[in-house]
Chain A
Amino acid sequence: MEIAASNAGTVGRMLAGFFDWFGQIGMFCGRLVRAAVQPPYEWRELLRQCDAIGSLSLPLVALAGAATGVVLSMETRDSLSRFGAKTMLPAVIVFSVLKESGPIITGLVVSGRVGAGIGAELGSMKVTEQVDAMEASGVDPFRFLVATRVLACILMLPLLTLAADFFGVLMGWVANNLQEPISIRYFFQSGFKNVDFSDFLPSTLKTAVYGLIIGTVACFEGMRTQGGTEGVGRSTTRSVVLASLFVILADVLLVRLILAFF
């Protein structure tokens, strides 16, 4: 009886924590929207963040995209050969990379690299009173620190996805070419023959939503850091785990919406 009551208490606390988290992030988003739309705008910091999030993530995203292309090529080649559909390989690689692999790989790589970076940076600033110092000098930290990072994530994710797509398809061809020589021209012509904008644009632009999720979750966790360096560690971990989880969940929803509307 006591164990059951204790379990009920634990479940109750977890549920309360769950709803509390969503309530708090809801209020955080409200403040974020106000900070993002009201002037003055922090253009210079936005550009700096675009550089930090975009160009510094590019090598990692390109590498992850390339690896995905190689793996897709090797695995799919084997499967298609069994069904005598080897000629479909370029199209399968292109469709897989453009519609799903490129966007989700980009989302997860950026969740890890940028989510951890933002969570740790803002968390450190919070526990060392740098955020308070900014507020005390009359600069809104939501405008300078949060809005710029979230906007940079939204803007950079689709661009990084293009890079992942490009390297994925390119390395798909390279891996294919190593096993059975095929001209790059034929590979691309065959692969892109049936691709239209409705295959490419929605799946690329959906990553802007991933950017919104990654930026918001990481900034939220960073800005509510408490408890010194241990707290910074916790915020960093939570930023990465929650951003990755919500990116995957958002993907399920977005794929359903894209299939319904395009």
Chain B
Amino acid sequence: MESTSREVPVAVENLSKAFGAQKVLNGVSLQVAGGETVAVLGRSGTGKSVLLKLLIGLQAPDSGSVHIHGKDIATLDSRQLNELRRRIGFLFQQAALYDSLTVEENVAFPLHRYSSEPASRQKEKVQELLRSVGMGEQGHKMPSQISGGMQKRVGLARALVLDPDILLFDEPTAGLDPITAGEIDDLIVELREKRKLTAIVVTHDIHGAKTFADRLVLLREGKIVAEGSFADLQKNRDRFVQQFVGSTV
């Protein structure tokens, strides 16, 4: 297992997690190759967001293992785990911007702590990132003064600020209108093309997933029931998979 983990940035083996009597993940195994974008799909409450939180150590699994860049995160101390987390960008479902900081300060928050670059270069980098997500003119605003779609863009800029090599997206288009959702999907595609990042995108939106993902993984009742390209899933005879794939085509 260790040797396999070294070859892939993200390797999950037999992961299970329950909250009380409710088992949200039940023996999930998943490997994501370098530069690959994987979309994790499934109905609400099937443990998709929990899977992302387990990957970054925000929650601990009941059983199973998570290897990031070959390191079993359960064996890391808090300092080592924080170092590893700096190589992972996380876009939260509601963006999770810090209320008390401006847009610019939100993006700069991790940079101020961990970058050895001069302050002027850091400021430039924040501006560049905000421009790249179409928020160049909004840096002085507070999160409460911008829309949900804009908050997601800022969240994305913040996730990218430490130049991570793995990106985790939790429902990046949830609650957005179709046009804004399309713009966010385009940003994910652009990131994939330009930065060659390894990405895991948790989403309900199979239409979006079809545009940006190399591989789709379908979860049902805490288990992976189908995996492959969109075309593979279309060929799958399982009724649940057919319902899911057919829902937005």
Contact = CB atoms under 8 A, between A and B. Distances in A.
Contacts of A133: 90, 92, 96-98, 158
B137 interface: no
Interface of A: 40, 124-125, 128-130, 132-140
B94 interface: yes
Given A137-B86, A138-B110, A139-B113, A129 B56 contact: no
Nearest to A137: B110
B82 interface: yes
Contacts of A40: 113
B162 interface: yes
Contacts of A125: 98-99
A139 B81 CA distance: 10
B117 interface: no
B88 interface: yes
A130 B86 contact: no
A128 B162 CA distance: 22
7 contacts: A40-B113, A128-B99, A129-B92, A129-B94, A132-B53, A136-B85, A138-B83
A138 B99 contact: no
B78 interface: yes
Interface residues of B, number: 23
Nearest to B58: A132
B58 A136 contact: yes
Nearest to B78: A140
Interface in B164-201: none
B241 to A, nearest CB: 30
Nearest to A144: B113
Nearest to B53: A132
A136 B56 contact: yes
Contacts of B96: 128-130, 132-133
A128 B93 CA distance: 10
Contact of A139 (B92, B99, B110): B110
A129 B99 CA distance: 11
B113 A136 contact: no
Interface in B50-79: 53, 56, 58, 78
A125 B99 CA distance: 8
A139 B101 CA distance: 16
Given A137-B158, A140-B78, A132 B113 contact: no
A130 B97 CA distance: 6
Nearest to B113: A139
B109 interface: yes
Contacts of A134: 98
Nearest to B88: A136
Contacts of B113: 40, 138-139
A41 to B, nearest CB: 12
Nearest to A38: B79
A139 B108 CA distance: 13
A40 B82 CA distance: 13
A144 to B, nearest CB: 9
A129 B53 CA distance: 11
B85 A137 contact: yes
A137 B112 CA distance: 12
Contacts of A132: 53, 58, 92, 96
B80 to A, nearest CB: 11
A139 to B, nearest CB: 6
Contacts of B86: 137-138
Nearest to B86: A138
A140 B58 CA distance: 11
A137 B160 CA distance: 10
A135 to B, nearest CB: 6
A139 B115 CA distance: 13
A125 B110 CA distance: 17
Contact of B162 (A124, A135, A137): A137
A82 to B, nearest CB: 55
Nearest to B83: A138
A136 B97 contact: no
B221 to A, nearest CB: 24
Given A129-B92, A132-B92, A137 B109 contact: yes
